[in-house]
Structure 1
Amino acid sequence: MLNTLLITGTDTEAGKTVLTTALAAYWQKYYPQRSWGIMKPIQSGIGDREWYQKLFALEQSAEEITPLYFQAPLAPPIAAARENRQVDLAVVWQALSKLRSQRDFVLVEALGGLGSPVTEELTVADLAGEWRLPTVLVVPVRLGAIAQAVANVALARQSRINLKGIVLNCVQRRTDAEIADWTPQQLIQSLTNTPVLGCLPYLDNLTDLDKLAQVASDLDWETLTL
């Protein structure tokens, strides 16, 4: 069974945190007997780590959730330079390896999008490929989404990422017609040769864990876990 899943997106506002939260809620509800963990490998400024600590009773320290933390809400190499530090990926890899050995399932939320810089030489895509992390790409439902999906899947292939599929996400309220017109699943699958695992509806209450679990259960888990 799938042990680790990296959640990345087309950009910083794609909805990675929504999907990660929904998957965590699903795992917590439907697999209560199995252990799981969350990791935000690198974080700049206040954000996702604090969100997960607030929402879930995680048996993880702040450092186990986020091995590298920088104060300024900027790209890691820039935020690190402001503190006269380096982005030490060895620290991240060691923390991730330890968590994976201790838990049945680990959700890893990437920073930014696939093309976001992690260091001055590496992007999220580089890291996902080099570390061989099974990955899901979140694509927001909006005009231009098809092109974003095609470009990001091309980047994923270039980086030899094990891309499990695409999840569409309504970051704002969308009608069925808008979803069908802006993110036609068959067309996206045809152009990218990548399965679309489902579409997350707009959620106005991201603390409703039962609703989040239900939303996640509607995704194509059979394809995701192959």
Structure 2
Amino acid sequence: MTALTGIVLVTGTDTGVGKTITTAAIAAAATASGVRTAVVKPAQTGIDPSYGEVPDMAVVARLAAPATTVTLAEYPDPLAPTAAARVAGLPPLDMFAIIDQVKSIAAEHELTLVEGAGGLLVPMGLHPGGAVWSLADLAVALSAPAVVVARAGLGTLNHTALTLEAMARRNIAGRVVLGAWPGRPELVHYANLSDLPEELDGLLPEGAGDIEPGVFRRSAPGWLSPTLYGDCDDPRTLAEPDED
């Protein structure tokens, strides 16, 4: 399959599944392929620099060094963007304004990754009439595919299937990446790997975000399929145990 180009959304089956590191890996692999890449975060929530917390786009910039990283809105509380805006007394995200900004950025790049917040249906903002919109609505409006970052452990089959089903009902093309394959996998991890959808396009090692940036950039293509600018034809082989 040809590598994805244009606008591509990155979502997750849940929060904390490795979405930002996966976004960085795709950006690193694309950049290494000579593709001018942008990474956009519509809403960053819950970052407190006084505790040493780092915004997602700063993580992506450090690890992947894409041509552009942009955060469109920031809210201080660790909540879904709509709730975070409400609690902070700040304007919620307007989907049409986000669309205009993303399209403007995409016009100057070959690949534009748009990293969501949490899962596919997390409330991202409000329309002028008060209706909530989600990353799924943004994908439909942009006619963009989405990469779904999933867990490796218990519960991932249901969460992944629900996310892909919600996408299919909206005609959103989807691919799957495991955001953190454990260093010491157990039976449940291998069983899940066999039962995940065929559209598995990546498998990142646990702790990938802690790798030195230069090593991260060199390693990223080996974690991803050619669809995501990698050189691994079957990411499932990355989970095969080493032979003594």
Query: Which TM-score applies when normalising by structure 2?
Result: 0.76
1:132, 1:162 within 8 Å by CA — same for their partners in 2?
Answer: no
Aligned to 1:41: 42
Match status 1:74 vs 2:75: no
Aligned to 1:182: 192
Which string of whole-angstrom CA distances, capped at 9 and with x for unpartnered residues, describes residues 85-123 of structure 1? 232223211211111101121121111111211125222
Percent identity between the two aligned chains: 25
From the superposition, tell whether residues 89 and 138 of structure 1 become closer, same or farther in structure 2 (CA, over 3 Å).
same
Counterparts of 1:4-15 in structure 2, within 5 Å, are: 4-15=7-18
Counterparts of 1:124-143 in structure 2, within 5 Å, are: 124-143=135-154
* Residue correspondences, number: 213
Partner letter of residue 198 of structure 1?
G
SS at match of 1:169: strand
Partner letter of residue 48 of structure 1?
D
From the superposition, tell whether residues 172 and 109 of structure 1 become closer, same or farther in structure 2 (CA, over 3 Å).
same
- State the shift of 1:124 in Å: 1.8
Cα distance in structure 1, aligned partners of 2:169 and 2:156: 20
Structure 1: state its 5+ residue gaps.
none
1:139, 1:168 within 8 Å by CA — same for their partners in 2?
Answer: yes
From the superposition, tell whether residues 208 and 84 of structure 1 become closer, same or farther in structure 2 (CA, over 3 Å).
closer
Cα distance in structure 2, aligned partners of 1:39 and 1:65: 5
2:152, 2:178 within 8 Å by CA — same for their partners in 1?
Answer: yes
RMSD after superposition: 2.6
Aligned to 1:199: 203
Partner letter of residue 57 of structure 2?
R
Partner letter of residue 206 of structure 2?
Y
Moved more, 126-135 or 174-183: 174-183
Cα distance in structure 1, aligned partners of 2:42 and 2:212: 22
Cα distance in structure 2, aligned partners of 1:80 and 1:129: 23
- State the shift of 1:4 in Å: 2.3
Cα distance in structure 2, aligned partners of 1:115 and 1:174: 32
Match status 1:65 vs 2:70: yes
Structure 2: state its 5+ residue gaps.
48-54, 127-131, 231-244
Aligned to 1:154: 165
- State the shift of 1:154 in Å: 1.0
1:7, 1:110 within 8 Å by CA — same for their partners in 2?
Answer: yes
Counterparts of 1:74-113 in structure 2, within 5 Å, are: 74-81=79-86, 82-113=88-119
Q: Which has the higher strand share?
A: 2
2:64, 2:216 within 8 Å by CA — same for their partners in 1?
Answer: no
Which string of whole-angstrom CA distances, capped at 9 and with x for unpartnered residues, describes residues 174-213 of structure 1? 42744312332xx322xxxx51113222135244343354
Which string of whole-angstrom CA distances, capped at 9 and with x for unpartnered residues, describes residues 132-182 of structure 1? 11111111101111111111111111232121x111222643427443123
